[in-house]
């Protein structure tokens, strides 16, 4: 069966799981990592898939909603929720990535391992250099440590920063998901998705504007 047809029941499941979130059409970088569930997908067909805006009646406004950003057939994106014929997608890139609505008809679901071994979680992970986390084995579980800065770490031009966040604790993955809690103050939900680690926090993990939310790539 074509992967194009397999995406239909998945997207219906996303729609059911996120009905409350679909009361509005927002789909953007800052919100994306905190809106699971996530899946990997490939852009299909032969045409560019343009990201659509999420304001002023979009993404249904046709050319008026189309942004300048696009992905091409074969590109891999991360998707989460749907909204009336569109899927909220994120395309990772060295510049931080792009999030926006893409027509569901241009997206083909990819296989997503649901129970990755603990070894796949391990390593150094970075979201464009800030934040960064390290996951290591810890007596049958995993220990996650990391730092986040606002506005940015050394040696960027935005350094020095007095707003810093640090995490250090044990996580016990269940399938693709793992939850970090720091005495009930800092809460982070992690999702391991192939070569990506997605983190969504509760904005209580450091100083002003500090966040561990993001789409991370493995650096080691």
* Residue 59: both structure tokens together: 């993404």
Residue 59: which of 29, 103, 22 has the closest Cα?
Answer: 103
| pTM for this prediction | 0.83
- Are residues 95 and 15 located together in one domain of the fold? yes
Residue 165 belongs to domain spanning: 118-218
Say if residue 60 is in the same domain as residue 123. no
Taken in order 114, 115, 119, 123, the sign of the CA dihedral is positive
Domain end, chosen from 79, 109, 139, is at 109
Dihedral angle computed from the Cα positions of residues 15, 106, 93 and 132, in that order, rounded to the nearest 10 degrees:
20
Same domain, 53 and 83: yes
Per-residue pLDDT tens digits for 180-204:
999 879 999 999 999 999 999 999 9
Query: In this predicted structure, what is the pLDDT of residue 160?
Result: 60
DSSP E strand boundaries for 34-104:
39-43, 49-52, 66-71, 76-83, 86-91, 98-103
Domain end, chosen from 109, 143, 170, is at 109
Give the pLDDT score at 93.
86
**Same domain, yes or no: 124 and 179:** yes
Instruction: Count CA atoms closer than 13 A to 145's CA, side-chain side.
Output: 3
Select from 30, 31, 69, 70 the least CA-distant residue to 48: 70
**Is 95 in contact with 84 (CB distance < 8 Å)?**
no
Residues 43 and 107: beta-carbon distance below 8 Å: yes
Q: Looking at the structure, do residues 77 and 161 belong to the same domain, yes or no?
A: no
Pair (127, 189) in one structural domain: yes
Same domain, 98 and 157: no
Domain final residue, candidates 75, 109, 143 = 109
pLDDT in tens, 53-97: 998 889 988 889 999 999 999 999 999 998 889 999 999 987 778
Give the integer Cα–Cα distance in Å for 13 and 28: 21
Q: Looking at the structure, do residues 7 and 98 belong to the same domain, yes or no?
A: yes
Q: Please tell me whether residues 172 and 213 are part of one structural domain.
A: yes
Residues 208/144, Cβ–Cβ less than 8 Å: no
Whether 125 and 80 share a structural domain: no
CATH number of the domain enclosing 32: 2.30.30.40
pLDDT digits (tens, 9 = 90+) for 133-158: 999 999 989 999 999 998 776 666 65
Structural domain count of the chain? 2
Residues 64 and 87 in one domain: yes
DSSP code string of 138-154: ETTEEEEEEEEEES--T
Domain match, 60 and 153 both:
no
């Amino acid at each position: 069966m074509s992967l194009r047809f397999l995406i239909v029941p998945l997207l219906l499941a996303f729609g059911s799981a996120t009905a409350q979130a679909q009361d509005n059409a927002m789909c953007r970088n800052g919100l994306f990592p905190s809106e699971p569930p996530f899946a990997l997908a490939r852009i299909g067909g032969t045409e560019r898939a343009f990201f659509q805006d999420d304001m002023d009646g979009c993404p249904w406004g046709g050319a008026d909603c189309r942004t300048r950003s696009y992905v091409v057939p074969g590109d891999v994106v991360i998707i989460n929720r749907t909204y009336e014929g569109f899927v909220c997608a994120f395309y990772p890139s060295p510049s931080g990535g792009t999030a926006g609505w893409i027509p569901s008809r241009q997206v083909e679901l990819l296989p997503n391992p649901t129970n990755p071994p603990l070894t796949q979680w391990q390593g150094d992970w970075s979201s464009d250099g800030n934040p960064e986390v390290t996951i290591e084995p810890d007596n049958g579980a995993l220990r996650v440590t990391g730092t986040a800065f606002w506005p940015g770490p050394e040696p960027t031009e935005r350094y020095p920063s007095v707003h810093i966040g640090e995490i250090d604790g044990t996580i016990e993955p269940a399938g693709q998901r793992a939850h970090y809690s720091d005495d009930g103050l800092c809460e982070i939900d992690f999702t391991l998705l192939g070569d990506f680690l997605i983190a969504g926090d509760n904005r209580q993990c450091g100083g002003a504007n500090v966040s561990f939310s993001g789409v991370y790539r493995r650096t080691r």
